[in-house]
Amino acid sequence: MKSRIMIVEPSLTMLYLLENDFRVSDYKADCFSSFEEAQSQFEALPIDSEKIPQAIIIDWPLYPTDASDELLTAFESAEHRHLPVIVLSQEVRSDARAWVAQRPNTTFVLWENHDQLIRLLDGLLDGQSDVKRDRFSTKFANDDIRILVVDDSPSVRVSLRKLLTLQGYRVEVCATGDDALSRAQRGTFDIAVIDFYLVDETGDDVCRKIMTDDRSQRTICTILTGTYSDSIIKKCLRAGAVECMFKDESSELLLARLDALSRVVRAQKNLREDRQRLDEILSAVHDGVYGVNQRGELTFVNRTAKKMLGYAEDESLLGRLAHELFHHSDSLQRFVHIERCHIQYAYEHGVDVEDMDGIFFDVNGTILEVNYSIRPLRLSGNEMGSIVVFSKREERRGLEDQVWQRLAYDELTGLMNRRYFESCLQNEIHRTRRAGFSDNLLVLSLEFDALHGETIDAVSGRELMNTSAQTLSNRFRSSDYLSYFGKGLFALVLSNNSEESASLVVGQLIDDICARIAKGGHYEAHCSGGLVAINDGFNNSAEMINMALLATQMAKRKGHNYLYICATQQFIHCDSVTDKVALPLHKNWRRAH
């Protein structure tokens, strides 16, 4: 028994073609040449009548009438909504596309493909996946997305509003570019869908105005056009549009594009909210905090940092070089080139800096003594910049800082402390420049591990550090420059040594320390070192010490027992060095007098 279908086609020529197509098919076609006749016949049929069609083919009305609207409304009713419907049209119509998108078991076919109707109808009736459309769906409610539709065609505005509203979007429509800009400035729209050819101007001009206005620049603009044109697409993209959509696309493709843009909008909103929460957190921190990218350009500055450095809270510093604002000169207020700045070096190379003393400059050029740390920011294994935390030195140290400035020697090791060593090193710099010696500054970092499941308590830690200091002192005379900075850091001057011979000396010294610590069988030591040539153009001892500390940090990142030589930017594993040559340490570690 043949399945009964209804065909509604006002054009007698087209109706004749359809009758021919279905004459030899398995379908019995009831054909109507007017919407009035079809609507009257369809509504007169009882629900249980054998003449109720099992599927409907309808040519979309070029000019809607009351009868066509009533017929389409009947197809949307609850008792008939299950019927498969194929909508035919000579061209892709936005109102037809919207109606098809919101009705289940419905598909759209251009008239040029009418020879495929029987196959499509078979699929709709049999529920086959090759013709049954996967209706577009989204996992979001979409009520968080506001869309502005700009089109001078009333039918397009109505159909797009209906289509997008059915998907949960909050939609406003307007007809002109001026109205669109006014609405965008007053309201917070996430996406603007703009027709290219408007009555007052083109879509790319509207897009450019929206994107360049501070009140609406966060709106994502897309252009809707009826024709594919390279020149139009280029104009739109150059104006700031992120997408070009075409009126002859299917509803599913248009919705898929808007869904993708909505995900971008949500991601941007989440990012702004995260940034706002981070700003609130950083504002509550008592230390100054700022972030930089690898070029040293500021990415954020908290309120405390601005206040400490004399900047207004609402003053924007983003994108400016931290070197030019905060650390452009040395303690004598002599300009330090950015390539010679050890802090800039840490930004560029992702060096982790812990608890450094230094100077920053405020907005008026006044020196600010600070203690700072630099933390590299790594996301998914990629270097993304650094975060700098700093505080005023007198606020941080208080009474401890006053005592520290009075003392010249470290209480634990009996060696010079950093302040005294820094002043002695300044004299050594002048002496080296006058005499032309090849002297080097070495900073060693020592770390200890307990063996056999033991632990290192505070007493054992002090004993291990003191043993290491004694090992170094045995290689030195009291008149030589040897210092303990604290936290396992030693600094010493290697007099009359090239970088190559100095690296050999360091290798033997590390071996001596490791052997001394391992002698008892309870602990092992790991050393890392940074070597800087004293005559390498540094302005002062503090700058040189900071560079040596940075080099030590880089050596620690490389692994245990590595030395980083700044002059050659070379890593040397000291275990392998000492196998090659043995130098008389007592000669190489003593200064000429």
Q: Could you give the CA distance from residue 487 to residue 468 in angstroms, rounded to a whole number?
A: 13
Three-state DSSP state, 235: helix
Decide if pLDDT at 245 tops 60.
yes
- What's residue 203's pLDDT? 92
**3-state SS record for 339-370:** HHCHHHHHHHHCCCEEEEEEEEECCCCCEEEE
- What's residue 505's pLDDT? 78
- What's residue 209's pLDDT? 93
Counting Cβ atoms within 10 Å, is residue 94 exposed (0-12), middle (13-18) or buried (19+)? Answer: buried
Q: Could you give the CA distance from residue 227 to residue 471 in angstroms, rounded to a whole number?
A: 83
Decide if pLDDT at 570 tops 70.
yes
Backbone angles phi, psi at 51, to 5 degrees: -85, -5
Q: Could you give the CA distance from residue 109 to residue 91 in angstroms, rounded to a whole number?
A: 9
Beta carbons within 8 Å of 545's beta carbon, 6+ residues apart = 418, 422, 425, 441, 443, 491
Q: Tell me the pLDDT tens digit for each residue of 114-138.
A: 888 888 888 777 754 343 344 455 5
Q: b/e for 496-523, b at 16 or more Cβ within 10 A?
A: bbebebbbbbbbbbbbbbbebbeeeeeb
The least confident of 97-111, 168-182, 556-570 is 97-111
Closest residue by Cα to residue 512 from 450, 468, 458, 482: 468
Beta bridge partners, 222, equal 193, 243
The mean predicted confidence, pLDDT, of the chain is 82
Q: Tell me the pLDDT tens digit for each residue of 254-282.
A: 888 899 999 899 888 888 777 777 766 66
CA dihedral 185, 253, 122, 77 (to 10 degrees): -10
Decide if pLDDT at 310 tops 80.
yes
What whole-number percentage of the chain has pLDDT above 70? 88
Give, in degrees to the nearest 5, the angle at Cα 358 between 534 and 465: 70
Decide if pLDDT at 404 tops 60.
no
- What's residue 284's pLDDT? 63
Decide if pLDDT at 206 tops 90.
yes
CA dihedral 322, 323, 326, 327 (to 10 degrees): 150
Backbone angles phi, psi at 26, to 5 degrees: -90, 20
Three-state DSSP state, 433: helix
The least confident of 257-266, 494-503, 512-521 is 494-503
Q: Could you give the CA distance from residue 575 to residue 593 in angstroms, rounded to a whole number?
A: 32
Question: Are 4 and 54 within 8 A, CB to CB?
Answer: yes
- What's residue 575's pLDDT? 61
The least confident of 72-86, 91-105, 393-407, 502-516 is 393-407
- What's residue 325's pLDDT? 95
- What's residue 580's pLDDT? 36
- What's residue 536's pLDDT? 63
Question: Are 439 and 531 within 8 A, CB to CB?
Answer: no
